[in-house]
Amino acid sequence: MKIDESMLKHVAEVARLKLTEAEIKKFLPELKEVLDTFSKISEVDTKNTTSSYQPVPLKNALREDKPKQCLTQEQALSLTTHKKEGYFKGPKAV
Amino acid sequence: MPSVTTFVKKVHSGEINVVEHTAKVLQEAKKLNREYHYYNTICEPLAKQQARAIKKNPKGRLAGVPVSVKDAICVQGVESTAGSKILKGYKPLFDATVIQRLKKEGAIIIGKTAQDAFGFGSFSTNVGLDMKAPINPLDPTRACGGSSGGSAGITQLTQYPHLSLGESTGGSIAAPASFCGIPALCPTYGKISRYGLMDYANSLDKIGPMGKTIEDIALLLEIIAGHDPKDSTSLTSKTESYSKSLTKADHHIGIIKETLGKGTDPKIKDMVLNTIDESEIKHASVSLPLTQKYGVSTYFLLAMAEASTNLAKYCGMRYGKHETLKGSFNEYFSKVRSHNLNEESKRRIMIGTFARMAGYRDAFYLKATKIRTKIIEEYKKLFKTYDVLASPTMPIIAPTFKEIEKLTPLQHYMMDTMTVGPNLAGLPHMNVTIGEKDGMPVGLLLIADHEQESTLLKAAKVIENVE
């Protein structure tokens, strides 16, 4: 499996993780070993096999479109320190 | 020690003072926690409040029964972190469906139990930053198993009647049950609502009962199982009276031969074969070649891919750990996640993200979903002949912390070789303790077809009775 330092940094960036140099040094050989082993699944013939995204067959679960009680704005904001004028406050976008 | 049912009868009759009893249970929990680290949070005020309410109105099938809950399951107003620092301070605004059902029956929630962060581990050593790993109740140098390690440890060690909720994605109920020597059941996927469970991998997660006896877990199962409209993957089939159906039945067991080869402790192999022989249950050797060869890789690719998307929501905005708002969105999210996720969480997010990336998705994630179909078919074929399949639960007894430190991540993942199969296929399975090796418990894993929990419990009862 071809995974090098630049690929590792790219994956980390996509996953919103900022790795330290020590983490990169540790993760690189570990991920190589794990992905080498996992890549052996290519040996299995799955030409005419469909995917299973769940282990048991599921039907669409629908409900009547009726309004129900939900969290109040105050409750929804009660677990964050980043709020302003009744809204979540995020980092600067521009 | 009385069974849960006997204890509840005494609560109903007033023979047991629930307030006094709960105070003793809390005292014990705090004492044990100092030494064994089974709880991330002991919810004393909630437990005492519930006890007072039960004393006034002693009703319900679990009236006054102490229950410990894996930290990944939301309990309203009680810090619930899924074992990760990134959720420190998070007190859910609602109860998980299983908690609602427990409270309705009079159960008393004692605390939130230690676990590998988000369920990422087989030994409960991958706990969150600044958290302590639970210690095996039978040998302090050894691990409890994971990821529901705290639940298994306290259930074994407490001197009071006790029930616990675990959660399994790839073996996190069976493994700690085996290492701590208790019975525990992981149900069919969808049998117990996942509403209020912090996801590891949506298509694999199952909440399940852990207890001191098979009768206790049968009772807990019938209380928490059943359809929940709040969970779109919840099965609509009716729940059975599991605790009343523990009668002897004729079973045909298939012993999975690949689980008894190289890599399995020979003594554990002998114990499994001898126990089934002595149970006088009709049995034969069966084979699951694809599952045993590719199950671990298939499981971890799917579980990590799902985990990498599920954990994207932990970004320090709406709940859990916050940091000073500084920099762009990406810089802020990356800072919060990098500071508060532990090493194994980062590792699994990285592998899962890789498996879903353009150019690799077909070879890894999609390929694994197709092998999952073949694995399910492999099990289904055997269930045309056999009622129950059997193997060791774990290939070894509980390892020491020193032994675990030496394992590479890949060796760590390989420990789940017996349990990933039934989890991938969503099959109900349970651990039954069959004896000891070097003073540590050895577990036998029983697996049944979808929704055959009753068959599983009956077979477990027969196995348990082998002397």
Q: What is the CATH number of the domain that holds B423?
A: 3.90.1300.10
Contacts of B91 in chain A (CB under 8 A): 79
CA distance B358 to chain A (A): 11
How distant, in Å, are the alpha carbons of B95, B167, B237 from that of B227? 16, 18, 7
Asked if A52 reaches chain B (Cβ–Cβ under 8 Å), the answer is: yes
Whether a cis peptide bond, with omega within 30° of 0, leads into B391 is no
For the stretch B135-156, pLDDT in tens is 999 999 999 999 999 999 999 9
Quick one: tokens of B182? Answer: 């208790």
For the stretch B319-350, pLDDT in tens is 999 999 999 999 999 999 999 999 999 999 99
What are φ and ψ of residue B460, in 5° steps?
-60, -40
CA distance A19 to chain B (A): 7
The candidate with the shortest Cα–Cα distance to B355, out of B371, B366, B341, is B366
DSSP code for B61 = T
Contacts of A31 in chain B (CB under 8 A): 347, 350-351, 354
**Total structural domains in chain B?**
1
Whole-complex ipTM:
0.96
Range of the domain at B371: 1-467
B318–A88 C-beta distance less than 8 A: yes
pLDDT at residue B7 is higher than 90: yes
- Mean pLDDT score, B274-300: 97
Asked if B319 reaches chain A (Cβ–Cβ under 8 Å), the answer is: yes
A78–B93 C-beta distance less than 8 A: yes
Q: Which residue of A has its CA nearest to B407?
A: A30
| Cβ-count burial B206-245 (b if 16+ within 10 Å, e if not) | bbbbbbbbbbbbbbbbbbbbbebeebbbbbeeebbebbeb
CA distance B51 to chain A (A): 27
CA distance B360 to chain A (A): 10
Q: Where are the domains of chain A?
A: 5-39
B369–A58 C-beta distance less than 8 A: no
For the stretch B288-298, pLDDT in tens is 999 999 999 99
Strands (DSSP E) contained in B84-197 are 108-113, 163-168, 184-186
Contacts of A42 in chain B (CB under 8 A): 363, 367
Asked if B426 reaches chain A (Cβ–Cβ under 8 Å), the answer is: yes
How distant, in Å, are the alpha carbons of A42, B192, B205, B467 from that of B306? 20, 20, 11, 43
Per annotation, catalytic residue among B80, B147, B151, B178: B147
For the stretch B169-195, pLDDT in tens is 999 999 999 999 999 999 999 999 999
